[in-house]
C-alpha cells in the first residue's frame, strides 16, 4: 500500500468554528482522506491522505464545493494583509451609512416631519440600509447562502437570518405604508439590521487584526532573511541575491550584517547575536569550525563561512515549520469545543423558532415577538467558543518561540500541564557533556603515561564522549597513539583490543567484573573520585588492572536551580545515567536529586519511562535529543536540548534551542499559563452563551421588563469574541511567562 502523504492548505472564507467543523466533516467523507484538521484561527487545513485513492486536486475541489477556497500553504511565505484590508474596508463602509441611519431613526425627524412624513422617512432609511446589507455585508449573506445550499448552518447563517428578518420586516412596513397610509404598521427596524451588520464587521475587523498579531511569531522569523549576500569566488567577493546562494558556496559576512544561510566558519572569529532564533540574550562566540545560523546577526568582526543549508533545508525554515505545525495542531480540549460549536447553530435555530412561537402565544402584539428571536439568533453565535483555544495556542507557542522554545502543538501544551514526573538524562543534559581527565591513577607514577597511551589507543575507534576526552588528554600531553587490532566493543562502556601483542581492556567496573579483572587495590581511590561525581575508567592488560582514569563532567550552572523549580511545581524528579551508582550519587547530591537510576543503557531508559507510564504517571523525558531518542519517543512529553541543527530532532515534542536547562522552566510556565488562558476563554464563551440566550429570549421580560434588543445582542456577540482574542494576546506580554 502506498504511504500516506500530508497536505497543508490555506483556506479563505471561514468565519467561525462552525465553518472549520463543516470543512472537516466534508473532507472526512472523501475516500482516501485519513484525517482532516482545520484551524479556524490560522485559516489552515492539515490533511493526511492516500495518494493512490484521492488527489490534492480532488481535495481542493471538495473545499470549493463546500463554499470556500483553498490553496497550497507555502511555509516560507510571509502572510499578506489582504484579509485585514478587506474587513477594514467593509466595516468603514457599513459605519459610514449606519451613523446617519441611527441618527435619523433615533431623532424620528423624518417620521414626524410635515414635508416628508413616515413614508418618505422609511424610504430614505431603506435606501441607506441597502449598501450596509448587500455591499458591506455581502460576505455574510454569500456564506450563509452557501451553507444553506449544503444543508448546513454556521455563524453567518445566524447573523444573516437575524439582520434579514429586521430588514424584510421594515421593508414590508414601508411598502404597506405606501399602499395603506395611516392604517399600516409604521415602526421600522432598519437601524437594527444596519447596526447588527456593522457591529459584526467591527468585531471581525478587531478579531482579524488580533489574530494577525498572534501569528507575528512566524512573520518575525521570516523577516530575518536578508535579501543579498556576498559570495567569495576564487578569492574575489561579489554581491548576489540570497535566492542564488547554494550549499558549498563560501560567503563573506561583514560586521553588523545578517547572515544569509546556515554554514560553518572557514575563516575568522566573531560573536553572533542569535537571540531572535534561540532566545539567547548574549552574543555567542564563534570560531573556525563552528556553525552559524541564517538570519542571525554578526558582531564586530568579519568572517567567512561555507554554506551547508539554504531555503527549505535551513534552520530558519525548520523553525517556521515547527511553529506553523504547533499553531495548527489542536489540543484535546479544543476538539471538544469544536464538536460543541458544530452542533450549536442548529440548536440555536430551534431555540429562536421556539421563542417566536411562545411569544406569539403569549402576546402577538408584544415587541418581543420580533426582537427576541432575532436577538437569540445574533447573540448565540459560537464564534467566541471557536476562538477560545486556537488563539491561546497561537499566542502561547508564539511566546515560547520568542524564547527559543519550540512546542509542536496545542496537544503538547495540554499534556505538558498534566505531567507529574520529569525524567532527566545526566550526561549532556544536567552536565555539560564535555569531559576532561583530571586524574590518572596507576600503581606507580612512571606507568601513568603508558596507561593513558594504551587507553587512547584502544579508544581511537570509539565515538563515545568519554573516548574523545581520553584521546584529547593524550594529544594535550603529546602522547602518541598506536594502531589497535581485533577491536571488540562491550555493551555499556568497554572496549578490548590488541596493542603491541598485549590484550588491553578499557572500561567501567562492570566491564572489569565481567572479564574477571581484579580492581580491589584501586577501590578506595576510585570511590573518592566517584564521590566527586567523576566517571572512573579502568585500564587492564592481559587480565591485570594497571590503574584508572577519572573523567570529570561539570554540572551545568543552572541545573540545581532548575531541579528545585521543577520540584516546586509538584512534579517528581528522576535522573538516569549510564555511570555507576557512586558517580551518579555524587552528581545527584550536588543537584539535590533524591531518586536516580545508575548503570542504565540507552535502550533501558525507554523501558523505565514506559514502566512509569504504566504506573499511571504522566512522564516528561528531558534529554539531548540524539542518544535519548527512544526514551523521548516513549515519554508522554519528550524534551530535547540542543542548538543549531539539533533543533530538528523528530522524537521530541518540545525543543529547547538554547542548550540551557532554564528554558525547561520557561516551557513549563508558558504551558501552564496558556492552558489557564484556554480555560478562562472557554468559561467565558460557555458562560456568555448560557446566560445570554435566556436573556435574549425574553425569559425575564414578563417578570422584570428586561429584554435584549438585536443591536445590543450584536454588540455583545462581537465583544465576546474580542474578549477571548484579547485575553489570549496577554500571553505575548505576560511577565509570568
The answer to whether 719 and 379 are in contact (CB under 8 A) is no
293: its cell numbers:
545560523
SS3 sequence of 36-103: EEEECCCCEEEEEECCCCCCHHHHHHHHHHCCCEEEECCCCCCCCCHHHHHHHHHHHHHHHHHHHHHH
Distance separating alpha carbons of residues 588 and 722, to the nearest angstrom: 49
DSSP secondary structure of 152-214:
---HHHHHHHHHHHHHHHHHHHHHHHHHHGGGS-----HHHHHHHHHHHHHHHHHHHHHHHHH
Enter the C-alpha cell of residue 575: 535522573
In whole angstroms, give the CA distance from residue 185 to residue 171: 11
Which positions ≥6 away from 295 have C-beta within 8 Å?
A: 221, 224, 225, 226, 258, 259, 276, 277, 315, 316
Q: CA–CA separation, 143 vs 156, rounded Å?
A: 7
Would you put residue 90 in left (φ > 0), alpha (ψ -120 to 50) or beta? Answer: alpha
Query: Sheet harboring 284-286: ordered strands across?
Result: 284-286, 270-273, 297-298
Give catalytic status of residue 636 as yes or no: no
Backbone CA torsion sign across 465, 466, 470, 476: positive
- Which residue pairs from 82-91 have beta carbons closer than 8 angstroms and sit at least 24 positions apart in sequence? 83/12, 83/43, 83/208, 84/205, 84/208, 84/209, 84/212, 87/201, 87/204, 87/205, 87/208, 88/205, 90/135, 90/136, 90/137, 90/139, 90/201, 91/136, 91/198, 91/201, 91/202, 91/204, 91/205
Residue 481 near residue 462, CB atoms below 8 Å: no
List the alpha helices (DSSP H) in 404-447.
410-418
What SS3 state is found at 385? helix
Residues 655, 632: Cα–Cα separation, whole Å: 11
Q: Which of 141, 146, 154, 140 has its CA nearest to residue 349?
A: 154
Burial class from Cβ neighbours inside 10 Å (0-12, 13-18, 19+) for residue 426 reads buried
Whole-Å CA distances, 399 to 154, 216, 258, 640, 674: 32, 10, 23, 18, 10
Determine contact, residues 505/459, Cβ cutoff 8 Å. no
Q: Which of 425, 553, 646, 653 is catalytic?
A: 425
* Positions marked catalytic: 425
Amino acid at each position: 500500500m502506498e504511504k500516506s502523504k500530508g497536505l497543508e492548505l490555506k483556506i479563505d472564507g471561514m468565519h467561525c468554528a462552525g465553518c472549520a467543523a463543516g470543512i472537516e466533516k466534508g473532507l472526512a467523507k472523501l475516500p482516501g482522506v485519513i484525517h482532516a484538521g482545520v484551524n479556524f484561527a490560522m485559516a489552515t487545513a492539515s490533511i493526511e491522505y492516500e495518494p493512490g485513492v484521492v488527489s490534492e486536486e480532488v481535495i481542493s475541489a471538495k473545499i470549493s464545493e463546500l463554499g470556500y477556497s483553498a490553496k497550497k500553504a507555502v511555509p516560507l511565505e510571509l502572510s499578506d494583509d489582504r484579509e485585514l484590508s478587506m474587513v477594514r474596508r467593509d466595516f468603514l463602509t457599513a459605519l459610514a451609512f449606519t451613523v446617519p441611519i441611527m441618527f435619523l431613526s433615533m431623532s424620528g425627524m423624518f417620521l414626524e416631519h410635515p414635508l416628508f412624513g413616515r413614508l418618505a422617512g422609511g424610504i430614505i432609511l431603506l435606501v441607506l440600509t441597502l449598501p450596509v446589507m448587500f455591499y458591506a455585508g455581502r460576505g455574510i449573506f454569500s456564506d450563509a447562502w452557501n451553507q444553506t445550499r449544503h444543508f448546513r448552518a454556521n455563524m453567518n447563517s445566524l447573523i444573516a437570518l437575524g439582520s434579514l428578518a429586521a430588514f424584510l420586516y421594515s421593508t414590508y412596513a414601508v411598502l404597506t405604508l405606501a399602499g395603506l397610509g395611516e392604517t399600516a404598521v409604521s415602526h421600522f427596524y432598519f437601524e437594527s439590521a444596519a447596526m447588527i451588520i456593522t457591529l459584526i464587521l467591527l468585531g471581525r475587523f478587531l478579531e482579524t487584526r488580533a489574530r494577525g498579531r498572534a501569528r507575528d511569531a512566524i512573520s518575525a522569523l521570516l523577516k530575518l532573511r536578508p535579501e543579498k549576500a556576498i559570495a567569495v569566488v576564487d578569492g574575489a567577493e561579489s554581491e548576489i541575491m540570497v535566492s542564488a546562494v547554494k550549499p558549498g558556496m563560501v560567503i563573506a559576512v561583514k560586521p553588523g550584517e545578517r547572515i544569509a544561510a546556515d554554514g560553518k566558519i572557514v575563516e575568522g572569529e566573531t560573536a553572533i547575536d542569535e537571540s531572535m532564533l534561540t532566545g539567547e540574550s548574549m552574543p555567542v562566540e564563534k570560531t573556525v569550525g563552528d556553525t552559524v545560523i541564517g538570519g542571525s546577526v554578526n558582531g564586530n568582526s568579519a568572517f567567512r563561512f561555507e554554506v551547508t543549508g539554504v531555503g527549505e533545508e535551513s534552520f530558519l525554515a525548520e523553525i517556521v515549520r515547527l511553529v506553523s505545525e504547533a499553531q495548527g495542531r489542536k489540543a484535546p480540549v479544543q476538539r471538544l469545543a469544536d464538536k460543541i460549536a458544530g452542533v450549536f447553530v442548529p440548536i440555536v435555530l430551534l431555540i429562536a423558532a421556539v421563542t417566536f412561537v411562545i411569544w406569539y402565544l403569549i402576546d402577538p402584539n408584544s415587541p418581543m415577538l420580533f426582537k427576541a428571536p432575532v436577538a437569540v439568533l445574533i447573540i448565540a453565535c459560537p464564534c467566541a467558543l471557536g476562538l477560545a483555544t486556537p488563539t491561546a495556542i497561537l499566542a502561547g507557542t508564539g511566546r515560547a518561540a520568542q524564547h527559543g522554545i519550540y512546542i509542536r502543538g496545542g496537544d503538547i501544551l495540554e499534556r505538558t500541564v498534566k505531567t507529574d514526573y520529569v525524567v532527566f538524562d545526566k550526561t549532556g543534559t544536567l552536565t555539560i557533556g564535555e569531559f576532561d581527565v583530571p586524574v590518572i591513577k596507576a600503581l606507580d607514577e612512571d606507568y601513568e603515561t603508558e596507561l593513558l597511551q594504551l587507553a587512547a589507543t584502544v579508544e581511537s575507534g570509539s565515538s563515545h564522549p568519554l573516548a574523545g576526552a581520553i584521546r584529547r588528554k593524550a594529544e594535550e600531553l603529546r602522547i602518541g597513539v598506536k594502531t589497535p587490532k581485533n577491536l571488540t566493543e562491550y555493551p555499556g562502556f568497554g572496549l578490548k583490543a590488541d596493542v603491541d601483542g598485549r590484550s588491553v581492556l578499557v572500561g567501567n567496573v562492570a566491564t572489569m567484573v565481567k572479564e574477571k579483572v581484579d580492581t580491589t587495590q584501586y577501590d578506595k581511590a576510585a570511590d573518592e573520585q566517584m564521590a566527586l561525581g567523576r566517571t572512573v575508567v579502568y585500564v587492564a592488560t592481559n587480565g591485570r588492572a594497571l590503574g584508572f582514569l577519572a573523567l570529570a563532567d561539570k554540572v551545568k550552572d543552572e541545573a540545581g536551580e532548575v531541579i528545585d523549580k521543577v520540584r516546586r511545581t509538584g512534579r517528581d524528579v528522576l535522573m538516569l545515567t549510564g555511570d555507576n551508582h557512586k558517580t551518579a550519587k555524587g552528581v545527584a547530591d550536588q543537584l539535590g536529586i533524591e531518586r536516580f537510576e545508575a548503570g542504565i543503557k540507552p535502550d533501558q531508559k525507554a523501558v523505565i519511562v514506559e514502566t512509569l507510564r504504566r504506573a499511571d504517571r504522566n512522564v516528561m523525558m528531558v534529554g539531548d535529543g540524539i542518544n535519548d531518542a527512544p526514551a523521548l519517543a516513549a515519554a508522554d512529553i519528550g524534551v530535547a536540548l540542543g542548538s543549531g541543527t539539533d533543533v530538528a530532532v523528530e522524537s521530541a515534542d518540545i525543543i529547547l534551542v538554547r542548550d540551557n536547562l532554564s528554558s525547561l522552566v520557561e516551557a513549563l510556565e508558558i504551558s501552564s499559563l496558556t492552558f489557564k488562558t484556554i480555560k478562562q476563554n472557554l468559561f467565558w464563551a460557555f458562560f456568555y452563551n448560557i446566560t445570554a440566550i435566556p436573556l435574549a429570549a425574553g425569559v425575564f421580560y414578563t417578570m422584570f421588563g428586561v429584554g435584549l434588543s438585536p443591536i445590543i445582542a450584536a454588540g455583545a456577540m462581537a465583544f465576546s469574541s474580542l474578549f477571548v482574542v484579547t485575553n489570549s494576546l496577554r500571553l505575548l506580554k505576560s511577565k509570568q511567562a
